[in-house]
Chains A and B, each alone.
Chain A
Amino acid sequence: MSQGLFGIHGAALEVRAQRMGMLGSNIANAATPGYKARDIDFAAALQARLGGADADVAAGSAVRYRVPVMPSLDGNTVEMAVEQTAVAENAVAYSATLDFLRGRIDKVTRALRGE
């Protein structure tokens, strides 16, 4: 039912929220020696989720290690510029998805009220 009402956007919002957590983890570990930055391949995660996989399984199967632009001596691959850009991009996309959802809900609400 909710899949029919929200379409792709419910799943997209889930993946965006999971990606937000992953990027937060990267920023938290910016000073941890040997930490390897990770990211979620959004398209792959969404594809898996729409294919019927669980939210956690879908995100887990789409986790990729980041390839650093310039590796540091302590083995840490977090690059602040990269992470900040990813956070900004993810936040904008999250807002967009939220707007799509809001639009759908407004439409249904109006229909129910009979306006």
Chain B
Amino acid sequence: MTVEHKILFTGTMGAGKTTAIAGVSEIPPVSTDVRNSDTSVAKATTTVGLDYGELTLDNGEKLRLYGTPGQMRFDFMWRILGRGALGVVILVDNSRPDPLADLDIYLDGFAELIAQTACVVAVGRMEQHPSPGLDAYARRMEAKGVVCPVLPANVTDPQQVVQLLELLLLQLEV
């Protein structure tokens, strides 16, 4: 049986989880997108199960990339997908009304995983929406006892997604 390793991507609807995985995965990503019925968010579809991508390592083992649904009502999926993960990348959309509150949801929802493994916070759309700034994010995390990298990222660029993964791996080095 192939040994499995996984990394999670989480964040609000439209933050770019599916895109991030698509940029790095060697297979076309599997997604469970359905029609979005929430009229307060201008997005046609939303993930209700998971996004899935994978990379094959040189010894045949797989690194699985999972995108979780973003809404809190799917937090059971966060728990299921989080089991045994190497770490989590939290994608935040700075164009939303209260991105720091969004961040809180994932810091809380993945608290145990973050404490035991690694976490990177990637803030998207910062160029057009510079506020809140990165220092505000750092302080918000500090308030929750979390110190982890927070940086701007455009996940449509696969190289930037790779950089996020690199920062995750760096935290796991003994």
Is the pairing of A and B real?
Answer: no
- B contacts, CB < 8 Å to A: none
